[in-house]
Amino acid sequence: MHVFYSDPFEFPLPPGHTFPLGKYRLLRERVAAWPAATGVQLLLAPRATRDELLLVHTAAYVDAFVGGRLDAQHQARIGLPWSEALVERSLRSCGATLAAARTALAHGVAVYLAGGTHHARADRGAGYCVFNDCAVAARIVQREGGRERVLVVDTDVHQGDGTAAIFAGDPSVFTFSIHGEQNFPAAKAASDLDIALPSGTGDDVYLQRLQQGLDAAFAAGAPQFVFFLSGADPFAGDRLGRLSLSKAGLLARDRRVVAACRAHGVPFVTVMGGGYAREIADTVDVYEATVRCVVDG
């Protein structure tokens, strides 16, 4: 199993910034410590090229971000201060998901230990998301893999508004988002299928709604390739979450998504999405269980 990582490309955050950057290194260290029998091969993320980014993003946005010329308001909407290191990390992060997609085309499955930057739209970033990795990778899968119909299963607690907006009116990519209705972003975009859950939703209701959504999304999208944007932030202990899933519930979620991909015989890529637990180890626990579920599944 090919597992990509980008955590060596750190970027500076001002004192007091709450983005838990360290979770990615902790996750990679945990996966690296798994027994060799798991068959995991850790691979450093390559850079996405400008041409690849332009499959989804506007040249004006890509060039302004890379060149450090976004206006302050736009940079604030992304929520991470601009630096050369942030540019490098953003290119590597998108490139990792592209590499995972190419690997999954060849081998059926791959994982990236970060990614899921689903708030980014064609012409702008937002909510810690610079480039929409799964959206760009969906275009790669269509172009290079000849797999026209793509499904994005987004179970991050925040709606995948950027992905929904990018593929609005494009029947080739089916977007499914199950999220907290009171969560960011306040103004939701319209996915092909949205399941908005009330704050405090727990395991049983969540898993029931998820299964309904998966059945509907696979039936309507008839996918030839799937992106699973998992997200550790539906966890009850998440600072930004508002849902109340347990770790066991999140693992059951992962198993259902992986089982659906397997049952339909489609290659898939798993990326981690958000995770902002009060205890960083909880976020890493959820991520690690997701990766293990894919590796074992």
Pairing relationship of beta strands 109-112 and 2-5 according to DSSP bridges:
parallel
Please state the closest distance from residue 232 (CB atom) to Zn ion, in A: 8
CA torsion sign, 84 to 87 to 93 to 95? negative
Q: Closest CB to Zn ion among 125 and 267?
A: 125
Which of 125, 126, 117, 76 lies closest to 274, judged by CA? Answer: 117
Please state the closest distance from residue 249 (CB atom) to Zn ion, in A: 16
CA 158/CA 166 separation, integer angstroms:
16
Please state the closest distance from residue 50 (CB atom) to Zn ion, in A: 27
Q: Closest CB to Zn ion among 95 and 274?
A: 274
Q: Using CB under 5 A, pick the residue from 52, 133, 156, 194 that binds Zn ion.
A: 156
Q: Using CB under 5 A, pick the residue from 115, 167, 274, 284 that binds Zn ion.
A: 274
Q: Using CB under 5 A, pick the residue from 192, 233, 254, 282 that binds Zn ion.
A: 233
CA 254/CA 80 separation, integer angstroms:
29
On whether the CB atoms of residues 150 and 142 are closer than 8 A, the answer is: yes
Please state the closest distance from residue 274 (CB atom) to Zn ion, in A: 3
Total of chain residues touching Zn ion, rule CB under 5 A: 4
* CB within 8 Å of 230: residues ≥ 6 apart: 116, 155, 156, 253, 254, 257, 270, 271, 272, 273, 287, 290
Q: Closest CB to Zn ion among 118 and 292?
A: 118
Tell me the residue type at 106.
A
On whether the CB atoms of residues 196 and 180 are closer than 8 A, the answer is: yes
Please state the closest distance from residue 240 (CB atom) to Zn ion, in A: 7
Please state the closest distance from residue 231 (CB atom) to Zn ion, in A: 5
Judged by CB under 5 A, which stretch of 70-78, 210-218, 233-241, 279-287 contacts Zn ion? Answer: 233-241
**Phi, psi (degrees; rounded to nearest 5) at 147:** -100, 100
On whether the CB atoms of residues 227 and 267 are closer than 8 A, the answer is: no
Q: Using CB under 5 A, pick the residue from 89, 102, 121, 158 that binds Zn ion.
A: 158
154 near Zn ion (CB under 5 A): no
133 near Zn ion (CB under 5 A): no
Q: Between 193 and 232, how does the x/- string for binding to Zn ion read (CB under 5 A)?
A: ----------------------------------------
Q: Which residue has the tokens 């992304």?
A: 78
Q: Closest CB to Zn ion among 156 and 161?
A: 156
On whether the CB atoms of residues 193 and 213 are closer than 8 A, the answer is: yes
Please state the closest distance from residue 160 (CB atom) to Zn ion, in A: 9
288 near Zn ion (CB under 5 A): no
Q: Which residue has the tokens 């850790």?
A: 42
CA triple 114-188-135, angle to 5 deg: 40
Q: Closest CB to Zn ion among 46 and 185?
A: 185
Please state the closest distance from residue 141 (CB atom) to Zn ion, in A: 23
Q: Closest CB to Zn ion among 231 and 267?
A: 231
Tell me the residue type at 204.
D
Q: Note the residues at the interface with Zn ion (CB under 5 A).
A: 156, 158, 233, 274
